[in-house]
Structure 1
């Protein structure tokens, strides 16, 4: 019997060791899954009509304890959704969210998706401790340019390759990052090493976020483009983040000159702002420099006055180039000033009219810098869009891609003063 005792002990030891190793491997696998980001595969339609506005899909187990839903919030300017998550023909990545979208009318046509996170198998909302949403393969073809706008909320950051000229990254409002192709060149496939055509939006403690995916084109079209949103971070070479959070940026006419005002919520390693302007909205040139605080966790106000030639007329476009101390940079959104004779009565000027994509609304000089509300009504008298600006610029840009063709009334109000004008949407 003694001969069998060591055998039994050895068997028990081996069995226990096997269990430990199996458990260790399982934990390793789980840790690997959690560190590799979120996996979006096999969506199931849970409500609405497939591929139509309002449809909601559930992705189970995007990580070990989390499900996600994706809702089609809107399809703008004639865009149509061909496939919610296209993993066909081996292009892209199975774990990424990969919608195929067909372009619509001239201008920007796009789909808006909202993501919500829940505990697995329930409808109990949950939080992702750190969300990395990477837009891959933002490219184009000829006069067609892809874009992605990722909205992760205040405190979010965008990371991109500082030396890229293939895409432009801006932050229209805090926590919202817009990347658009600049070259019109179609890159082969979808590749996580094509750093020049990708950017990552990051934030912490996220329960939901949204993304606009679409195409900007100069004429009506029906090109189908495949997009890829990979929910993980990447080691982007020569990485840059926008060195600040821009709370506001406005432009107004003042004594026949243009006064630019902007406010930062915080700054990190900021060197300076380069003020750039353009007469066509495409080719920008530096017109001035304003140095930043550098590092701050408080609001900072800045201003710059651009002296305008007395004979200058037409439209001037302004933007800020945000430079950090390492030579990396990003851009603000664009602001527009209209130069010319203006009626100082309560008239507002809208252009272009008819409008295809964006309507520009110029307000009287004595309204600039004050709180102004902009409302658009259809011919049935229903308000279809409203914008409020607590520090109005001379010209406000309002996107009308999501409105159908027809006649509208623009109503603009500052205090007790009201002005309105009819416009046509083509």
Structure 2
């Protein structure tokens, strides 16, 4: 559908037409030990001495600066503790730290309440967390994680407040390399927000309430990180009063999970893989990686899979580096005669003694974009009339939605398109107030959005 894995809404500015990809259930998100387990008990520890427990009776208060520890959330290949730091609390409080009775107990599932709970004017708030994974040995060393760690935020939903207001949850992450949503999705982009010294990707929740702590893909987003040892995220909300009046919310259930947890670089092999990435280009996958300290190291075996489970070797590169030296590698995998649109790749790294370890797995999508060449004319829209010109690769129905800045769908229609150039008139634009809007177009395989404005 698109080249490689692309970011959530491109630059998240909606300055151009962008594509939302189908979210994939990555194999490493399905089995332990690659999912840290937060179903166990937790204790409050001293922020200045993480080995010192200062409260363990469960009757906690939650304040900025507090740190909570889970023991052995990962036990293979080493025992790892997780430390949650409350970095800031803005117009929000923690009602319950981790509600294991809701959703799936291994997830981190706090209850968060607005402050004040009765909101009479527009209001936003959040709790900012930092999580560190440390080895459970004396000294509690902070461990570096390989590229590919996934942070998945579940059940980002809410509802309308009257017909022009809303209350929804929000999610924020910083430092990620990419962010994904499902196709279709009910959540929208809040853009990139520079706040507190960090550039945050902000996600705005659905105005459709889902049941309990939902795992529905339409209200999930996933952020993928490069090599890291600290993850920061925010769980929050936004309230727009509109014509719905004041609203009281006692608390909301939140849920998050960490997947594709990879410590393979902490192996017995001396080689260290610094990065591993890929992109679909033309008819081939271009893989790139950087390694260092290739001491008594033999080769890299490039493995490919179409299901993420069954891999076969497609190429071998002999090591070219040396101890203490960084070396860049490139491998091109020709896919002209290979069926399918989704491919998984990993590296098998083999030393002179035949010992080996695997890199993290990356996912590559073949370019199969069905809708492109999109132009809204005129833009800005005047006199309530505009059309969309687009090029389609297939015959079928496209759903068109006009979405305002709050994420509310204000217009909706369907149109039948044919291979080649198409022009579709957008109806009822005269009903819209002047301002900025998004036009969302969805077929069976992808969702494309374009920004436009309405003027008088």
TMscore range, shorter length: 0.3 to 0.5
Q: Which has the larger radius of gyration?
A: 1
Q: Structure 1-normalised TM-score?
A: 0.47
